[in-house]
Amino acid sequence: DTAVSQTPKYLVTQMGNDKSIKCEQNLGHDTMYWYKQDSKKFLKIMFSYNNKELIINETVPNRFSPKSPDKAHLNLHINSLELGDSAVYFCASSPGQGWDGQYFGPGTRLTVT
Amino acid sequence: SQQGEEDPQALSIQEGENATMNCSYKTSINNLQWYRQNSGRGLVHLILIRSNEREKHSGRLRVTLDTSKKSSSLLITASRAADTASYFCVPGGGNKLTFGTGTQLKVEL
């Protein structure tokens, strides 16, 4: 009965490859997010979707493309992976616009070699 | 949300002791949230305090908010080894959370 789940948990891949990370929430929330936590542990928002519509798109390279097939899923596709993409990626969800807190997934550790 | 500044950056205590960490922020807020992140894991929403509240409790957690000083504190009483984690304050909430560097708490047996 995991609330926010992500797959895979670990991903090791070579530069130039294309990869996807999947996120699902079973909380019935309207809004989902992707965050990136770099090696210095700073956690920064990348994207947010509300009812399948993009509402936040931070300064992220266009190699990153989120896709929300339905309200419960928000996937992150990354093209032409670079070394600097190595990080932990967290998915989160919230009811409404997040004023009552966000619920985070366990993270996906991406290593680009 | 805006980025909060947690202090201290790191804190090491013995099990059973209380741990206090502070947060300061710059502009007026509607609410302030505290999150915990265990090593290598996702963040867990601990508690939210609204701007019209001074203090809030949740289990062993006590949060205070002083809007005049633009500061908040998180007190963990009777700490346990499992409380070892990074703690982040997020002033303002909303759909665009901004996290600082957090307070790294270590609870030793």
A66 min Cα distance to partner chain B (Å): 16
Confidence label for A101 from pLDDT (cuts 50, 70 and 90) = confident
pLDDT in tens, A41-66: 788 999 999 888 888 888 789 999 99
Q: What is the mean pLDDT of residues B33-55?
A: 91
Contact assignment for A45 to B40 by CB distance below 8 Å: no
Contact assignment for A98 to B93 by CB distance below 8 Å: yes
Half-sphere exposure of B88 (CA within 13 A, CB side): 24
Contacts of A33 in chain B (CB under 8 A): 95
Q: One-letter amino acid identity for A69?
A: P
Q: Residue A1's pLDDT is what?
A: 61
Token reading at B19: 């741990």
Token reading at B74: 């998180």
Distance set, CA B55 to CA A69, B50, B64, B69, B70 (Å):
41, 9, 4, 14, 14
Which helix (H) or strand (E) is B75 found in, with range?
strand B71-76
CA geometry: angle B71, A40, B105, nearest 5 deg: 50
Higher-scoring residue by pLDDT: B19, A2: B19
Paired residues of A20 in beta bridges = A77
- What is the distance between the alpha carbons of residues A60 and A63, in angstroms, rounded to a whole number? 8
